[in-house]
Amino acid sequence: MIWNDMERLLSKIATLYYIEGKTQKEIAEQLNMSPSKVFRILNEAKNMGIVQISIKQPIVSCNSLELEFERKFGLKEAIIVNVGQEDQDNLLSLLGQAACDYLKRIVTPADIIGISWGQTLYEMVKQLQPFGVEGTKIVQLVGGINNGQENIEAVELAKRLSQVFNSSPILFYCPAVVANPEVKKGLLLDKNIKDVLELSKKATIALVGIGTMDKESLLFKKGHLSSNWHSELLKRNAVGDVCMRFFKLDGTPCNEDLDDLIVGIELEDLKKIRTVICIAGGINKSKAILGALKAKIPKVLITDKITAEKILEIEAKGGVQ
Per residue in 150-200, pLDDT tens? 446 778 899 999 999 999 999 988 888 888 899 999 988 999 999 999 999
**How far apart (Å, rounded) are the C-alpha atoms in residues 119 and 150?**
11
pLDDT value at position 46? Answer: 83
pLDDT value at position 197? Answer: 94
pLDDT value at position 30? Answer: 83
Most confident option among 190-194, 207-211, 224-228: 207-211
- Taking all residues of the chain, what is their mean pLDDT, rounded to a whole number? 88
Q: What is the DSSP letter of 224?
A: S
pTM: 0.81
**pLDDT greater at residue 11 or residue 136:** 136
CB 77 within 8 A of CB 105: no
Helix or strand run (H / E) with residue 241: strand 238-242
Q: Tell me which residue of 282, 294, 283 sits closest to 319, measured CA to CA.
A: 294
Q: Which residues contact 81 (CB under 8 A, 6 or more apart)?
A: 60, 62, 94, 95, 98, 281, 302, 303, 304, 305
CB 95 within 8 A of CB 80: no
Helix or strand run (H / E) with residue 35: helix 35-47
CA dihedral (207, 111, 101, 70) in degrees, to 10, reads 70
Beta bridge partners of 212: 240
**How far apart (Å, rounded) are the C-alpha atoms in residues 316 and 321?**
10
Kindly indicate the confidence band of residue 148, based on its pLDDT and cuts at 50, 70 and 90.
very low
Kindly indicate the confidence band of residue 118, based on its pLDDT and cuts at 50, 70 and 90.
confident
pLDDT at 247 over 60: yes
Kindly indicate the confidence band of residue 95, based on its pLDDT and cuts at 50, 70 and 90.
very high
pLDDT value at position 216? Answer: 78
Q: What is the DSSP letter of 190?
A: S
pLDDT value at position 60? Answer: 55
